[in-house]
Structure 1
Amino acid sequence: MLPKRPACAGMKKESTIIETRSAFIAIVGKPNVGKSSLLNALTGHKIAIVTNRPQTTRTRITGVLTQEETQYVFIDTPGLLKARNKLGEKMVKTVRESVADVDAAVLVVEPTGEVNPAELDLIEGFKSNRMPAVLAINKIDILQNKELLIERIAKFQDLYEFSAVVPISALERDGIDALLGELSKFAIESPHYFPDDAVTDQHERVLAAEMVREKLLLNLREEIPHGTAVTVETMKEKKGILHVDAVIYCERENHKGMIIGKGGSMLKKIASEARAELEDFFQIQVHLQCWVKVKEDWRNREGILRNLGY
C-alpha cells in the first residue's frame, strides 16, 4: 500500500503553514507502451527495467522525484492484459489497486492505432474512481504523419475528459517537462513521504534481481523469459567489491539448459551484461554469481509466488 496522508493534509492550521506538497501518480497503460521508460525519464534514473517484451514489469515500482517543495511519487504498474495464471492475476490486481490509491493517473498510449480493450478497461476504472488523468501520447519520435496524432487524441477524448493531453517521447525525454507541469497541478499540501534525495523505495536486492531479469528478457527466446524469475540471495560489500549471489528460477529442465547455454556461454553472457549494469548503478566493482534452478509451474503456485515477492 502507498503511504497514507494524515487527515489534515491539504488543510492549513492557524498556527502552522505547510510549505511542502506531494502528488501520488500512477503510470498505467497496455503492455509495451513505454511506462517504465517514462518512469525512468521522470526520475532521471533507471529504476525500472526496459525491454520490448510484454510483462517486463511484474510488480508495482515506486519512483520518486523531488523538485523544491513538491515531491512526486510515481507508481509504475504492469501492463494490463488478460491473466493466464496466478502471477497474471496478481499483476492485474496490482494495476487496479494502484489506480485506486493515487491522486491522478497518467495513461500512456502509442501515437497510432485503435483504442485497445485494456485501455478501455483502464478508462472505465478512471470513471469508477472519478480519477483525474493525463493522456500521454508516447513514441512521437517515431511518428511520421502528425495528422495521425490528432486522430488518436480525438479517439481518447471521446471516451474520457482528460485533464490534459501531452505528446511525449520517453526515450528522448521530449515533453517530460511539459508533463511534469501538468502533474504538478495534482500536488496537495502535505509532508514529503520520502527523503528528498530518494529515487525509489525498492530494496537494493530487488533492483539487482531486476537487472539480471532484464538481461534474461533481452537474450533468451520469447517463450522462456516469462517463465523465469530472479532472486538475490546475498548482497554484501567486502574490500571494495560488491558480492551478489543471484538465483534464476525457470519452469522446465530444458529451459534451464537454454539459460545456461553450451558450455555455460549464455549464462556467462547474461551475468556479464548484468554485472556491467550493476557496476554502473551502484558505482562499485561487482562480483556477480548466478545459479539456475527449476521450479515447475511456479507462476501458478501461491507459496512460491509469495516467496519470490509477488
Structure 2
Amino acid sequence: MEQTPHRAGHVAVIGRPNVGKSTLTNALVGAKVSIVSSRPQTTRHRLLGIATFPEGQLVLVDTPGLHRDHGRSTATAMHRWMNRAARGALEGVDVAMLVVRAGQWDESDTFAYQALHGAGIPVVLVVNQVDRIKDKAQLLPYLAQVSEGREFASVHPVSALKRKGLEALVADVLRLLPEQPALYGEDEITDKSQRFLAAEMVREQLMRQLGEELPYATTVEIERYEEQPGLVNIGAVIWVERKGQKAIVIGKGGERLREIGTRARQQMERLFDSKVFLETWVRVREGWSDDEAALRAFGYHE
C-alpha cells in the first residue's frame, strides 16, 4: 500500500480585521498562540502558529487584518505597521487562506483577495462563522456569489470557534504544500517567546475589557521576565497615550487593573504550565501609536 507523502509549508492566514483569523489559527494549532477579542486590531504582529498532523505540518502565518490606509495623512504609524506586517506575510509562503465572515463580503474582502491574487499563490477561501447563519439554504447562493470571477483552490465553510469543518480544510491545504519533512518539532506551537506571549495576554485583556473606551491607545511592554523552578516572575508595563487613559485602565481603587492582571495571569499559567507572579504598571507616553521610534521601542519592528 502506497504511503501518503508527508507535506509541510507556510500558510498565510489573511483577511480583513475581525473575521476570526486568530481563532482559526488557535483551533488548527490546538493551543492558544494568538490572542482573540471582538475588537479590530487585536492582532498587531505577524505570528507563526505551528499545526502538526500525522500527514503533514501547517506553519500558519497569522497576521493583522488588511485594511486600506486611505492616504498617509489619516493612517497612523501603527496602521502602516500592521499593513506592512500583513503584506509581509505573503513573502515565502506556499498557500494563503483568505478568511471571510459567512454571509458578508465587502470592499475590504475584495482588497484582501486582490493582494493574494497578485502574489501568485494558491488561495483557499475559508468562510468562517457559518454557525451564525440560521438558514443554511442562504449559504449556497452566497458561496456561488463570492466565488464568481475569483480563483480559489477550494472553498471551505467552517466554524473556527466550534472547530467544525477543519478536517476537510486541513486535508485540502496539505495537498497544496510541498512534499518535505516537518519544518518544526512536533512539540513546537509558535515561533514567539513566552515573554512575547505574556505581553500579548495582558493586551488581550485590555482589548476585551476596555475596547469601547480605549480601542487602540494601549500597548504592553515586559520589563521583567524571570523563570524559576515552578514559577515565572513577570513585570508588565501598560503604555497609554494620555493621563486620562491611565485612570481608565487603573479603574476605581485599582479594581480594573487588578482584574486585567488576574485574567492575564490565569491565561499565562494555562499556556506556560507554571505558576505565574505578575505585576502590572500603567505609564503614559503621548502619541506612541503614531511615533515610529516608539513603535520600534515597543517591539513593532520588521
In the alignment, what sits opposite 1:241? 231
In the alignment, what sits opposite 1:299? 289
Amino acid at match of 1:58: R
In the alignment, what sits opposite 1:54? 40
Amino acid at match of 1:133: V
In the TM superposition, what is the alpha-carbon distance from 1:69 to its structure 2 partner?
A: 5.4
In the TM superposition, what is the alpha-carbon distance from 1:291 to its structure 2 partner?
A: 0.6
Contact (CA 8 Å) 1:82, 1:88: kept in 2 or not? no
In the alignment, what sits opposite 2:112? 122
In the alignment, what sits opposite 1:4? none
1:221-249 superposed Cα distances (whole Å, 9 cap, x missing partner): 42414110001111112353211110100
Amino acid at match of 2:77: K
Amino acid at match of 1:300: D
Unaligned runs of at least 5 residues, structure 1:
1-18
Q: What is the total number of aligned residue pairs between the two structures? A: 291
- Report the Cα distance in structure 2 between the residues aligned to 1:250 and 1:82, rounded to whole angstroms: 25
Q: Are residues 1:156 and 2:146 paired?
A: yes
In the alignment, what sits opposite 1:229? 219
- Report the Cα distance in structure 2 between the residues aligned to 1:221 and 1:133, rounded to whole angstroms: 32
In the alignment, what sits opposite 1:102? 93
TM-score when scaled to structure 1? Answer: 0.90
- Report the Cα distance in structure 2 between the residues aligned to 1:239 and 1:199, rounded to whole angstroms: 22
Q: Which moved more, 1:80-89 or 1:29-38?
A: 80-89
Q: Are residues 1:280 and 2:258 paired?
A: no
In the TM superposition, what is the alpha-carbon distance from 1:99 to its structure 2 partner?
A: 2.2
Q: How does 1:19-34 map to 2 (within 5 A)?
A: 20-34=6-20
Contact (CA 8 Å) 1:31, 1:80: kept in 2 or not? yes
Q: Are residues 1:202 and 2:188 paired?
A: no
Amino acid at match of 2:13: I
In the alignment, what sits opposite 2:80? 89
- Report the Cα distance in structure 2 between the residues aligned to 1:268 and 1:126, rounded to whole angstroms: 42
CA RMSD of aligned residues (A): 1.4
Amino acid at match of 2:66: L
Amino acid at match of 2:63: T
1:15-56 superposed Cα distances (whole Å, 9 cap, x missing partner): xxxx75312101111111110000000000000111000000
In the alignment, what sits opposite 1:37? 23
Amino acid at match of 1:102: V
Contact (CA 8 Å) 1:104, 1:186: kept in 2 or not? yes
Q: Which moved more, 1:233-242 or 1:214-223?
A: 233-242
- Report the Cα distance in structure 2 between the residues aligned to 1:260 and 1:134, rounded to whole angstroms: 43
- Report the Cα distance in structure 1 between the residues aligned to 2:294 and 2:182, rounded to whole angstroms: 35
Q: Give 2:166's match in structure 1, choosing from 169, 172, 176.
A: 176
